[in-house]
Amino acid sequence: FEENCGPVRFHKDGKRVYMRSNKGVDLSRLLLVDVESGEVEAIESDPEGEVDFGGAWFSDVTEELVATVYTGDRVRIYPRTEALERELQWLRTELPDGEISYQSGTEDESAQIVVVGSDINPGAVYLYDRNQRTLDKLYDSRPELPSDHLAPM
């Protein structure tokens, strides 16, 4: 195949669409395409130049692009706002070592389900209250699987 592309979601202005594409380049990247004019703006490609574009996080409240994600040896999250940068730094200090992912959240983004897992931890699920800046552990994924049976990668 010469090109691999697909829509990610519409921009909040309703006139442009975020697209993933590898047209003319080796690795896929995130583009913003004006639907009427066809004008293309390159938003981002892997900062380390290793892997295809992995995904995008958008705010449900503002509809802004708040982070991009790439999966190489590990998942890499690139915040695009200072608020998310600070939030991820705080979560990394409060949660066990591992890869953090966001799952569902409230419409107003005041609460979020956060999952952290690693090669030696199948994962734990937390409720993150942004307003109170608290984490409440909901459950461990696969608690019957002893960590000492897992190999560090």
Asked whether the predicted pLDDT for residue 20 surpasses 80, the reply is yes
Asked whether the predicted pLDDT for residue 101 surpasses 70, the reply is yes
Give the pLDDT of residue 5.
Answer: 92
Q: Name the pTM for this structure.
A: 0.86
Q: What is the mean pLDDT of residues 43-58?
A: 96
DSSP character string of 4-59: -EEEEEE-TTSSEEEEEE-TTSSS-EEEEEETTT--EEEEE--TTSSS---EEEE-
Asked whether the predicted pLDDT for residue 99 surpasses 70, the reply is yes
Give the pLDDT of residue 97.
Answer: 87
Give the pLDDT of residue 108.
Answer: 97
Amino acid at 2: E
Q: For residue 146, give both structure tokens.
A: 């002893």
